[in-house]
Structure 1
Amino acid sequence: MAAPGPLAAQGIPGLDGRGVSSDEPVTFTAEEVEFDQNTDTVTARGRVEAWQGNRVIRADQFTYNRTTGVATATGNVVLIEPDGQILFAERAELSGGMRDAVLEGIRGLLAGNTRVAAAGARRTNGDITDLARVVYSPCNLCPEDPDRPPLWQLRAGIASLHSQEQRVRYRDASLEMFGVPLLYAPYFSHAAPGAPRISGFLSPTFGVTKLLGGFYEQPFYWVIDDSSDATIRATLSTEQIGGLGLAYRRRFNSGVISLDGSFGNLQGNDVDQEGIGWHFFSQGQFSLDETWRTGFALNRASSRDYLRAYRYGSPQVLTSNAFLEGFWGVQGYARADSRLYQSLLQTNTSSQVPLVLPYGYAEWLFARDPLGGQFRVDAQGYSITREQGTSSRRIGTRAAYELPLIGNAGEVWTIRTQADLLAGYVQDLQAAPFYGPPGQDGNWTNGNVRAAVDLRWPLARSAGEWGTQVLEPRVQVVTGPQTGRQTNIPAEDSLDLQFTDANLFELNRYPGRDLQEGGTRMDAAIRAAWLFPNGGQVEGLVGRSFRTSDEPLFPPGSGLENQRSDYVGRLRLAPVPWFEVIGRSRYSAETGEQQLWDITGTVFGNGYSVSAGYLGTQAAYNDSYPKRNEVSLGGFLQVNDNWRIGAFGRYDRFRDEPVAAQAVLAYEDECLIFETRLIRRWIQDPVTLQDDPTGTMLLFRVTLKTIGDFGIRAL
């Protein structure tokens, strides 16, 4: 019995796609359907498509034996799985509602654009699919020569895909590159493409370093539950006994927490502390409600050499804190925290490192008044304790008001007022450069009121098809009572003073509030800009400041120590979309000597970028940083769709030696990432100028997409 033309049929029991009743009928379409009553067989021919649930099969011919419950598909067989995976076969025999299957001449398109081919396959209970003589690869085939081996592929005698576990297991497996076997393993497994988190061994990292010698690091990833996981890292080396690390993460409904710790052996002539080393890094953050959140960070380590040796970074200071903060839109903010520091530099002793407990800050920004002005008020307090050195406590508040006005001629007037009130207690106040002998220990108070009138007058003219030119002179007069040198006040937040165009018009040029700038001064600057129709621009500013008093308010080298300040400037040159220069500078008004010069130029485009820079600074008056005279050059080039190269270097002309250099070579396509980096640091510690025993690194990273990555450190 045959029916010509396309039609749809139902009523074949026994095909179960998702564990539903095997008596549920399958739906199919075909150009022709034939039923043989003698054999109780239904045969469909011509563009056959049958489905039940989310499983779909397509074939030239589809035969179903109602007595045995076995379905056979032949000719261009396509089996579409519920998870979106697609299998191609020459012939397929299915039973148990498509859950069990035997396929011949199989080819598969899996998640992540990965492909699999095998001589045959058997699927059991819709979960485990065993493939014989299998080849697996996510690499595209060469369009000119499809028979050419892909960039890399896995070959195995048997491969098993476990749908429930989302894992692929291989037996008698080998990794081939360009068809040449490179690695062999009697057993190998990896997560299925597109699979969620799965426990198992991660790709190892191995190599050679100065402190570890030859080393091998093997991580193991453990999925604890839906909201937490852990990574265990074991490190073996030839120069050290080795180390063990554990990283734990957990996500809650209201926040997250992460813990990372390790211990390991460290010995040798190039280390500052021999024996068992360790580290512990942790952080967490939790939302209490829509306004408040809290969090913490606890970071400690036995030494900096241990962190560098076992590749946990090379920080100079580790910071721990606990905080509580609240947000009220854009108007209000409050924070309370404590801070504990650990210095990892040999030049600092732990007794000099401060403990900040507590620290608090709150501010409120009021709505604009009918004149357009805005009022802001804040409060701040802290307590700093040192075993050796200055200990202090401080509370303070600031109230500020700003009113912008626009004149009839287009000039912009801004009226600013700011009032500070501070009080504190100091113990063991230390003498400091410039500030002279310390004052008396005990209670102290400091207050200041500043008022300013700021005038900007932007003058613009049209340059026709060349855009718009802008000339903007700016003058500000600031006044307030004299404050003196304030030698009895601990300058905890006001030591690192750099005078630039960024703080030329600030009411208090000190970066913090411990020290206050007093007296009367005038700030003047002129800004010029040329705005081009293509979006480019050339913009620059030059300015300086004049004080009426010769009172020594600022330390030498700051640019503000004299009544007439140094000249400060800014330049941004970006006439076309592919070129930009940004620079800042400061020159002595007396000698014309460069005090600060920071400039970077970049040329960039589609697939390339080149940048050059220069940084010149004088040494800090308190020796917090040395004199620097560095030039830098770097860039990258996207050679083609796959290859990218890059390099970067810094050279200190003052010390006449290089500072750091790095070169990168990277390749990426649809199935492979290869990256190598050569990193060299000549001076790691800017205070001690001590050589870094891990200053040279040669890194290799190979990522086989959908499989894993492998890291090699050669130096």
Structure 2
Amino acid sequence: MLPAPRPDRLRFAGLLALTAFGLLLAPNGPGAQQGSPPSSPQGLMGIGNRGANDGPVTFTADEVEYDQTENRVTARGRVEAWQGDRVLRADEFTYDRDTGVATATGNVALIEPDGQTLFADRVELTDGMRDAAIEGIRGLLASNARVAAAGGRRTGGTVTDLARVVYSSCDLCAEDPTRPPLWQLRARIATLDSVEQRVRYRDASVQFGGVPLLYAPYFSHASPDAPRASGFLSPTLGQTRFLGGFMELPYYWAIDESSDATISVTASTDQLPNLGGAYRRRFNNGEVAFEGSIGNLDGTDADGIGGHIFSQGRFTLDENWRAGFALNRASSREYLQAWRYGAPRVLTTTAYAEGFWGAEGYARIDTLLYQGLDAANSTDLTPFVLPRGYADYVFPNDSLGGRFTVDASAFSLFRASGTDTRRIASRATYELPLVGDLGDIWTFRTHADVVGGWVDGLALAPTFGNAGGDGFYGRGNIRTAVDWRMPFLRSAGEYGSQIIEPRVQLVTGPATGAQLRFPNEDSLDFEFTDANLFSLNRYPGRDRFEGGTRADAALRGAWLFPNGGQLEGLAGRSVRLATDETFADGSGLENRSSDWVGRVRLAPVPWLELLGRGRLDKDTGEGRLWDGTATFFGGPFSLSGGYLLTNPAPNVTTRKREEFSLGGTFRINENWRVGLFGRYDIGLDRPVAAQASATYEDECFIFETRFVRSWAEDPTTRADYTGGTLLLFRVGLKTIGDFGLRAL
């Protein structure tokens, strides 16, 4: 069954169970056989019979009396009966065998299996225990909820009417329990229909501190025992720059046990109404979900009718294979922003199948279609990948402890204008770790690559290669490395232990040259850091090979504190025999000697962590990359800060980026907490984003307000991406529902 949203509701499940407890105790109705009394109290109460819950009833009391003249059974003194996990308690219980009327009086209590407890002054059951009259109802329900009513009546075994109902999930004031709770719902009549699974109210109001603020002459919602039910959900109100004042009203449709839909209409003062919808369905072997909308948008560059569809699905085919899809398209980014469907810059549509064989094997085949929503993204250069495949297999360790891995990949890529590429590639890898007599660790690695394909239109898209390279191409490469590490460990006594670990790796293979005559589809986004210092091929894909002979070296040090904290750092670089023309200027690997890379982590105590990594120019020591974060936990508050410096990345970004961020949360007391966050662009000398929030939460009430301000990016690179402001208010009455107001 789908775990679906449903209309907000009160938790009156215990009331239904209370009015049904006659079925729990005495299955004998008015038509029961008359005659001599049973020979035991168990017979008096019908113990051992099966009621509505299809289970035996157990019963205890201080005394049981049977009046043969009146044909009445009376149990007194700590009467307790239970069936399964449901328990009924009362001071006195009587059952008239002639009329079929059962009465429980004095401290009547029903304890439900989930812990809910309801109390009543008096309960009378008639008509074969199907009808009931209840006086003085009080209940302690799930989620700290409390309910009270002057009385109630159940008719036909299905409909229960409660008079003068009060409901709240707030705790009463410990100093003055007579004071009204923070909020409570009052209704003249509440009707529970177990057949329709609905709860209906008449003359209902929500009071705050005893003062009525919200009133409805009539409303209804699904019964708590209905797992899912159709109905209207809470509306969303707000105001935005594009829509003006707006209201979104969603309707939830529970189609069946495995599918549902939500239909929403958003009406605004400045735009025509927008129609949105979502559909979900769960199968035995998978699930699908669709979301879409259609509407009009005036006052932007994307004037006119627009819409979107976001969808995904996943299916298990057998124990090894699964398949899925995602269809995501939109008329424009402005449309998504204006109608509050998010603001992605790229949408991806795909269909795939993938297989898993433990930790040894994996295979996948898929297709990819991208939609760039930024004006800076050229639609003609956006690729369409059909198909793409990948598979790998890891063989068991050999007798020496080495491991052999092989993979294969292929794709066919098309563009409306630019490079079309078809490529197939394979890589075989072998790795053998050994430990020397002195504790030194030797690792022998080698991998061999083979790549072949066909390329068209290379002259039309210089980013992906140079002119004159159309047609078939094929090439291969092999890299072999010997990696040596020697960890030195010494005790620092009561201050913990220290580690110094030098590491040297020698990598060799044939030189590759500039490789510009080959297309580059998967190796554009390259960044040299400590994370790939010892990689055999430091490019992330297969379209660019690193060649030649080089040596990588690094020194790692660590101080491990007795309390579990540590100070750890690493610094290293690479030196090659000849310049590798593959790497672009500014990459850090364009010369024979690379830039310096390193990282440091300081976490001396559980409440403080400093983490940073960087890359320094090999000659001047100027920072080309700095990425640092600091996090401080101080009991009721936490504080974090960050600094980022990156130089222009070849083929990816055109400007230097330098910014810092600062944020934190602070818990003022048990109920209040506030949060602040900001990001500032040092290069542009202006803020990027700021956010402030304040939240109050107790056992029954949530209030949240949030302010978010974002500034436009550099207009030379993101001309269509505008800044904005969001102001959000949210009020939540726990166990009833949330109400929100937002402004953009």
TM-score per shorter chain, which class? over 0.9
The partner residue of 2:80 within 27, 43, 49 is 49
Contact 1:16–1:98 at 8 Å: present in 2 too? no
Alpha-carbon separation, structure 1, partners of 2:738 and 2:134? 32
Does 1:529 find its partner at 2:558? Answer: yes
C-alpha deviations, 1:280-315, integer Å up to 9, x for none? 011001111000111100000000011111111100
Cα pair distance change 1:700/1:476, threshold 3 Å: same
Does 1:507 find its partner at 2:541? Answer: no
Point out which structure has higher relative CO (alpha carbons under 8 A, 6+ apart): 2
Contact 2:333–2:344 at 8 Å: present in 1 too? yes
State the Cα distance separating 1:148 from its structure 2 match: 1.5
Residue 276 of structure 2: aligned partner: 245
Does 1:104 find its partner at 2:104? Answer: no
Alpha-carbon separation, structure 2, partners of 1:435 and 1:552? 16
Residue 287 of structure 2: aligned partner: 256
Residue 61 of structure 1: aligned partner: 92
TM-score, length-scaled by structure 1: 0.94
Residue 18 of structure 2: aligned partner: none
CA RMSD of aligned residues (A): 2.4
Residue 289 of structure 1: aligned partner: 318
TM-score, length-scaled by structure 2: 0.91
Does 1:640 find its partner at 2:669? Answer: yes
Contact 1:17–1:97 at 8 Å: present in 2 too? no
Residue 43 of structure 2: aligned partner: 10
Does 1:461 find its partner at 2:490? Answer: yes
570-579 or 98-107, which deviates more: 98-107
1:344 partner letter = L
1:544 partner letter = R
State the Cα distance separating 1:608 from its structure 2 match: 2.5
The partner residue of 1:574 within 603, 625, 649 is 603
Residue 597 of structure 1: aligned partner: 626
1:191-230 map, 5 Å: 191-193=222-224, 195-230=226-261
86-95 or 281-290, which deviates more: 86-95
State the Cα distance separating 1:160 from its structure 2 match: 1.5
Secondary structure of 2:541's partner? coil
The partner residue of 1:413 within 442, 458, 461 is 442
Alpha-carbon separation, structure 2, partners of 1:18 and 1:219? 42
State the Cα distance separating 1:619 from its structure 2 match: 1.6
Residue 574 of structure 2: aligned partner: 545
Cα pair distance change 1:20/1:417, threshold 3 Å: closer
State the Cα distance separating 1:233 from its structure 2 match: 1.0
Q: Which runs of 5+ in 1 are unaligned?
A: 1-6
The partner residue of 1:150 within 181, 194, 197 is 181
Does 1:303 find its partner at 2:339? Answer: no
Secondary structure of 1:675's partner? strand
Cα pair distance change 1:470/1:334, threshold 3 Å: same
State the Cα distance separating 1:34 from its structure 2 match: 3.1
1:581 partner letter = L
1:17-416 map, 5 Å: 18-19=51-52, 28-50=59-81, 56-80=87-111, 85-193=116-224, 195-268=226-299, 271-416=300-445
Alpha-carbon separation, structure 2, partners of 1:532 and 1:668? 39
State the Cα distance separating 1:97 from its structure 2 match: 4.3
1:446-485 map, 5 Å: 446-485=475-514
Alpha-carbon separation, structure 1, partners of 2:579 and 2:461? 21
Contact 2:374–2:718 at 8 Å: present in 1 too? no
2:139 partner letter = G
Contact 2:228–2:254 at 8 Å: present in 1 too? yes
Secondary structure of 2:336's partner? helix
Contact 1:11–1:26 at 8 Å: present in 2 too? no
Alpha-carbon separation, structure 2, partners of 1:562 and 1:677? 50
Residue 15 of structure 2: aligned partner: none
1:396 partner letter = A
Residue 659 of structure 2: aligned partner: 630
1:332 partner letter = G
Contact 1:337–1:359 at 8 Å: present in 2 too? yes
C-alpha deviations, 1:487-509, integer Å up to 9, x for none? 11111011111000001111111
State the Cα distance separating 1:186 from its structure 2 match: 1.0
In percent, how many aligned pairs have the same letter?
A: 64
Alpha-carbon separation, structure 2, partners of 1:15 and 1:206? 57
Contact 1:278–1:301 at 8 Å: present in 2 too? yes
Q: Which runs of 5+ in 2 are unaligned?
A: 1-39
Secondary structure of 2:380's partner? helix
Secondary structure of 2:293's partner? strand
Contact 1:433–1:621 at 8 Å: present in 2 too? no
Alpha-carbon separation, structure 1, partners of 2:495 and 2:448? 46
Secondary structure of 2:458's partner? coil
State the Cα distance separating 1:27 from its structure 2 match: 6.0
Contact 2:465–2:519 at 8 Å: present in 1 too? no
649-658 or 600-609, which deviates more: 600-609
Contact 1:308–1:694 at 8 Å: present in 2 too? no
Alpha-carbon separation, structure 2, partners of 1:640 and 1:112? 22
Secondary structure of 1:575's partner? strand
Contact 2:712–2:723 at 8 Å: present in 1 too? no
Residue 621 of structure 1: aligned partner: 650
Secondary structure of 1:636's partner? strand
C-alpha deviations, 1:367-410, integer Å up to 9, x for none? 11111111110001111100011111100100011111111111
Residue 4 of structure 1: aligned partner: none
State the Cα distance separating 1:623 from its structure 2 match: 4.8
2:43 partner letter = Q
Contact 2:711–2:723 at 8 Å: present in 1 too? no
Alpha-carbon separation, structure 2, partners of 1:688 and 1:572? 35
Contact 1:474–1:525 at 8 Å: present in 2 too? yes
Cα pair distance change 1:502/1:52, threshold 3 Å: closer
Contact 1:279–1:300 at 8 Å: present in 2 too? yes
Alpha-carbon separation, structure 2, partners of 1:631 and 1:71? 74
Contact 1:192–1:706 at 8 Å: present in 2 too? no
1:631 partner letter = F
Cα pair distance change 1:436/1:344, threshold 3 Å: closer
155-164 or 377-386, which deviates more: 155-164
C-alpha deviations, 1:45-104, integer Å up to 9, x for none? 211224568765322222222221112222111234687653211121112344321111
Does 1:681 find its partner at 2:710? Answer: yes
599-608 or 569-578, which deviates more: 599-608
State the Cα distance separating 1:642 from its structure 2 match: 2.4
